[in-house]
Amino acid sequence: MTTTREKSQRRGVVMTIAAVLVFMLIVVAGFIHRIGQPRLMSDGELQANGLYLMDPPRDFGDFALTDHRGEPFTPASFEGQWTLVFFGFTHCPDVCPTTMAFLDQFVGQLEGTEAKDTEVVMISVDPARDTVEKLATYVPYFNEDFTGVTGEFLDLFRFATALNTPFRKVPGQGEDYQVDHSANVVLINPRGHYHGFFKAPLDLAKMKVTYRAARYIWDH
């Protein structure tokens, strides 16, 4: 028969094991929580992970464009949220659809306020073919909340140049031409200023860490 002493010893062992397991769960949960939290990163760390910040952020001036919903797109369109800007075009065979799909995946993994105040905008570098109607079909295919923007060529070119992302039509290709453009993603802060850019090629894990760090630095 099991004695009272043996029962007490077994109870003690069970309680000890339970306490150890609870402690391990708390440690693991704390570790996972810290990983998910933004942290202060130096410029060197940010750049090593692909994000280059402007110091200070730049006001890139006035512009008047049109979004894929037929609404005016002006500097005020950037205010009040963080915006990821990609310069591309609907006839782009590889970089543009790949980047747009990447950005859809990126915003899908954001949480809380990050998800609520993060916008994605694709600025066309091919206004001759990228009409409002064309963008209205192309951009929502990747994400219904994304915004496509077009306008007059010179207005788009000045805007892109102000964000260090110039583009040019590849000559000698007839009507089925391509456009050389940057694959970087520009970061605009809630004041509507040029905050920095994510250098291509983009990496999902690194971009999440640096984006959160940029927001953390801004808030503190």
CATH number of residue 133's parent domain = 3.40.30.10
Structurally, the chain folds into a number of domains equal to 2
Q: Is the pTM for the entire model greater than 0.85?
A: no
Average pLDDT, the chain: 88
Give the single-character DSSP code of 163.
T
**Is 92 annotated as a binding-site member?**
yes
- 117 within some domain: yes
Give the whole-number percent of the chain exceeding pLDDT 70.
Answer: 83
Residues 116 and 15 in one domain: no
Backbone φ/ψ region at 113: left (φ over 0), alpha (ψ -120 to 50), beta: alpha
Residues 56 and 27 in one domain: no
- 44 within some domain: no
Residues 133 and 157 in one domain: yes
CA distance to 69, 99, 131, 149, 207, per residue, from 49 (Å):
35, 17, 35, 28, 7
Q: Which domain holds residue 1?
A: 1-34
What's the pLDDT band for 4 if we cut at 50, 70, 90? low
**Is 68 annotated as a binding-site member?**
no
168 vs 111, higher pLDDT: 168
15 vs 108, higher pLDDT: 108
In the chain, alpha helices (H): 4-36, 43-48, 95-108, 112-116, 132-142, 153-162, 204-219
Residue 14, SS3? helix
What's the pLDDT band for 22 if we cut at 50, 70, 90? low
pLDDT over 70 (residue 163): yes
Give the single-character DSSP code of 66.
E
112 vs 197, higher pLDDT: 197
Residues 26 and 61 in one domain: no
Of 200, 177, 135, 147, nearest in space to 168 by CA: 177
